[in-house]
Amino acid sequence: MKRKILKNIEWSILICTIILVIIGLVALTSATKNSDYEELKKQIMWIAISVPVLIVVVFIDYEAIVKISPILYGIILALLVAVLFTQAINGATSWFDIGSLSFQPAEFAKVVVVLFLAWLISRIQNKGRDEINKILKLILVFIVFAIPVALIVKQPDYGTALAFIMALVFMLFVAGLRKRYIIPAIILVIVLVPVLYLFVLPEHAKTRIDVFLNPDLDPRGAGYNIIQSKLAIGSGQLLGMGLFKGNQTQLGFLYPKTTDFIFALIGEEMGFIVAAGIIFLYVLLITKAIYVAKTAKDDVGSYIAMGIAGIFFFHMLENIGMTMGLLPITGIPLPFVSYGGSSLLSNFIMIGLLLNISGRRQKAIFIE
């Protein structure tokens, strides 16, 4: 059985992951040179933890994992409530401190919610694939989706909440959501965006949007980070300024250079070729995830793979877009490259699930 799984696995997904991790370690080596490589050491430790977890996830049948997803969903909701009562870090109550390490439940919520939604949608479709288009069934799916998202927004962590939306969109597309829902959804978004901006978003979130529209509005304050990021990427040119030689990176102008703006560090010190190579790797990874969804042996596997593809797509688009000034800053990390233990471990779990599904695939299930 294990031999058959290994034969069917989409190895290109793992290869892309390994290359991205290596690039991230090289970038973190440069970013942490002046801090005794503290974050680099922690990242290596988290990699050492994540690899065995990935292997375990690959060989436990994903159907068995999906069966316990309702229990996992309840646990993650409890953690998302509990984290709201922790001490705020940088204005957000998103982490549990465990000794010298931090644990961010919202990162693992992405995995759990995708698993639970896949289980729920497949259960709804037991009576027929078109059951998902019934209003009451859709409302149930949105309630299950909205509860953890609302708790994450409460932290507040708007970037991670948006990743959930992308995952849901990808999953509903594969589930066969009818086109008649698309136009009302677009109209709803158009109506809600100004309402959220005017009456819901806190001042710091509004400022980020204002600065995105006009970075020179506050060049020494809210617009400072994005201006430095764009300077860093632009100064790297084709081949980069060389490791440990980036002006914005090494002189402390780029912040935070190990997490949100690590792509800017790569652009400055490694140049356009490496930066473009990273984008290519993500596109390949996401494309392969969609292919795994298409060739999964059942609907549940397809939904999980598409949810994961949606999460990776959003993280790539938002992180790289915000470092270039093309999208508002949300604090979204770059998967496998940015520093962050919870993010790294949850990403490895998602890669493990993709390998798991691909190892057990049989036929395509996409709706024509």
The residue extents of the domains of the chain are: 2-359
Residue 9 has phi, psi (to 5 degrees) of -55, 140
Nearest 5°: the CA angle 217, 218, 219 is: 110
Q: Which residues contact 60 (CB under 8 A, 6 or more apart)?
A: 356
Q: Reply yes or no on whether the pLDDT at 176 is more than 60.
A: yes
Reference 160, options 148, 169, 170, 172; nearest CA is 148
For the chain, the straight-line distance linking the first and the last C-alpha, in angstroms and rounded, comes to 32
Instruction: Give yes or no for residue 368 having a pLDDT over 50.
Output: no
Q: Report pLDDT for 289.
A: 97
Which tokens hold the place of 210?
């204002």
Average pLDDT on 315-323 reads 95
| Residue 98, number of CB atoms within 10 A of its CB | 9
**pLDDT for position 362:** 67
pLDDT-derived band at 1, boundaries 50, 70, 90: low
Residues 6+ apart with CB under 8 A from 83: 93, 94, 95, 96, 105, 106, 155
Distance in angstroms (rounded) separating the CA atoms of residues 45 and 49: 6
Q: What is the pLDDT of residues 185-227, one digit of tens each?
A: 778 778 877 777 776 777 777 777 877 777 777 777 778 888 9
**In this structure, which long-range contacts are made by residues 62-65, counting pairs with CB atoms below 8 Å and at least 24 apart in sequence?**
62/300, 62/301, 62/304, 62/353, 62/356, 62/357, 62/360, 63/298, 63/300, 65/115, 65/353
Give 72's pLDDT tier (boundaries 50, 70, 90): very high
Q: Is the per-residue pLDDT at 160 higher than 70?
A: yes
Q: Is 192 in a helix, a strand, or coil? A: helix
Name the burial class of residue 192, with classes exposed (0-12), middle (13-18) and buried (19+) by CB atoms within 10 angstroms of its CB. Answer: exposed
Higher pLDDT, 176 or 202: 176
CA atoms of 163 and 65, how far apart (whole Å): 22
Which of left, alpha, beta for 237 (phi over 0: left; psi -120 to 50: alpha)? left
Can you give the pLDDT at residue 221? 74
Query: pLDDT for 107-140, tens place per residue?
Result: 999 999 999 999 999 999 988 888 888 999 999 9
Q: Any idea which residue has 């473009």 for tokens?
A: 276
**Quick check: 95 pLDDT over 90?**
no
| Cα radius of gyration rounded to whole Å, the chain | 21
